[in-house]
Structure 1
Amino acid sequence: MLDFHLHRQQGAFTLDATLKVPARGVTALFGRSGSGKTTILRLIAGLERPDHGHLRLDGECLTGGENDIFVPAHRRRLGVVFQEPRLFPHYSVRGNLRYGMPRALTPAQRQQNQSRLHEMVTLLGIEDLLSRMPGQLSGGEARRVAIGRALLSRPRMLLLDEPLTGLDGARKQELLHYIARLAREIEIPILFVSHDTRELFAVADRLALVDNGRITASGEIGDMLSRLDLAPQTGRFEAGSLLTAEVLSHDDDWQLTRLGLGAGLSLKLARLAMPVGRRVRLRLRARDISIALETPTHTSLRNALPAVIHEIESERGHASAELVLGIAGQRVRARVDRLVCQELGLKVGLGVKALISSVALSGPDVISLDAMDDDIPVVNAAQLSAAQPNATQTDTAQAKAPNDAGSASPAS
């Protein structure tokens, strides 16, 4: 577990942030540009030093304490991936990946390195890129290589600083897929910095909101996104909910998939390329949910789920009202006109029908919670951390890179 309280004064900007990050899963630092997210990450990585505070990882003090400890970046064993991949231009993809690996002094160590490299290449889907130079990679490919290089250094934690910035829609979706997959298949924590709500839906397990240098709230992402009091920070237009579901069946004739939500409830959406039994996380946008007092007839809406209103927030000056519904024991946000609330007599405790169009949901709104491919090996903590400490994958490693071209590396 990562535990920190960090204070740093930068001109007129004051950072005073406190957070505990679990030992596994993805914790997202979310906030607008300039809120302090990257500064927090750099302080954790050891690239900057706080004015005071403490930082502990797995019980080890890296910053602060009674003796004012400050462990340098290259001894922290943290994998860091920046907005720019920062690959060594004179190394091939294979050379970049092998650079962060420990030096192999014996045949057994060389075999271990080779096996680990193969596992990482397979996990990231970059088998066909190994002989390419960084200048021949797309933005998404380069960032996958950067993530692989960081993981092959056997870090105790992976820090991702807005790794999707500047990518187009298709490349961003591709990399989101791989980050979500990594989160399921490696057993080290990931700290993910972002200012895009859609990225959080895809990869985060926990959410920490950063505003003006402070972490104002943190918790499980589903709980955080359903809190109406946090709407100004989490965003209103893209506001929504995350539901846990299971693939129950496919209808090949009509190209539909039925997802089970629990308590005997299910909903239909466009067919998913996932097997029956797969556990998934489903994103429902608040603006895509309508409310009815009874199940309507003669309508194009395919899903009418029984729900109970838990909360209503209706403010004068806003055209819409925000609702929190209980559906199969899960919290779901909905947005309706304030006038509709009055006309339908909506109130806390009232049973209603939540209407959801099947075409409002698509593949990107559904993320698998299980391994995507049974033949992909899980990279566990022992594989990543068993060896001696290695240099952090940061500017420090960039500065130490050798000048000779090609794919040879110290890890060969």
Structure 2
Amino acid sequence: MLIKHNTTQRDDGYLDKTPYFQFILLSCLFPLWGAAASLNDILITQFKSVFELSNFASALVQSAFYGGYFLIAIPASLVIKKTSYKMTILAGLSLYIVGCSLFYPASTMATYTMFLAAIFSIAIGLSFLETAANTYSSMIGEPSRATLRLNISQTFYPIGAIAGILLGKYLVFQDGASLEEQMAVMNAEQLHAFKLEMLQHTLKPYKYMIFVLLGVASLFALTAFPKCKVKTDNTKQAPSVGETLKYLSTNARFKKGIVAQWFYVGMQVAVWSFTIRLALEMGNLNERDASTYLIFSFMGFFIGKFIANVLMTKFAQEKVLIAYSLLGMLCLVYVSFVPNFSAVWMAIVVSLLFGPCWATIYAATLQTVDNKYTETAGAVIVMAIVGAACVPAIQGLVADMVGLQMSFMVNFVCFGVVAYYFVSEMKFKAQDKPVVTATV
């Protein structure tokens, strides 16, 4: 029997009120991709030592993960168009389960390429989930609260991210000296056996995630969800992907939002990818202890979102995000140039300032397009996640050339682009306000 809802859909696809059970269940998807993304940060550290990779090569984990998002977002939007948000989410959960299952052969074959293939497969499922869930969360209620709803849903993300790090901390990383210290005193035979054992540990978190995913998929299958589709004239054909992309290419504000999202997501993932490495470099720690600082980063991310949600009820969202961005730039200068362990703590503060960026940019960018283009426009915004496939690799390359700490200046530039975007949005809204003239 389906769990029903009691809402009325407007012509623009939004609802007259938010169905709370459906909204909470939808928001529970956000920690699922948060866990997968944070596990990548664990894998980067593990693979760098086991496969003896450069910073650049280890960052290819993120390239495989977020490259999948880029390639699948448009096909996912077509599934939404042809079916529904609910069916797209169920497809994404199924593909996510398949990707997790591929860690079984990957841990046995013990090749970096096979692990990248498994990570790419997970990303395919997550692309379906994010393309559907981000847009759906913004639409499942009144349009005036679209940004707030998405920010609330995104607040669930760090819960999953922390869970992913905890799984990696206790199931992938081990006690004792760091991997590099242990491997330095082994002969060739011992080294080979040790590496195989360490790669077997990477499978453990994904075993637990499969069971969680099966439970969530069952709940979605048993729950009725509103369609949230724009009502169209049956005599008129819905715009094709080509028409939509042509329209979006002429929308200046939409294009600025895409650029801002590209730089923001790239910066967020880059900072988190190298936080554990920074803690290892700045302190005498092993991987398990160093991963604790990434947990603090996600806690900061959660707190930053909560504070921003409160601030945005009192101040214009653009002003809040400009303040966050400028403070983030100052913190990144500190991370890059202060040569002691306090730089790691400042990287955690940077994570606090990431809090509201993704959801606010996403919702603001989506609201710049006509309603009939919503599904494809949402997919294009998700495609901007490909910044996370590029910026960590760029930071890894810079780290190999000038050192890990200095490489955090790459993220300084990214935060500058985000600040510029919100300044331009604030100026646009100021110009767009109607001029009030006095009458006698």
Larger radius of gyration, structure 1 or 2?
1
The structure with the largest strand share of the pair is: 1
Q: TM-score scaled by structure 1?
A: 0.24
The structure with the largest helix share of the pair is: 2
Higher relative contact order (CA 8 A, sep 6+): 2
Q: TM-score scaled by structure 2?
A: 0.23
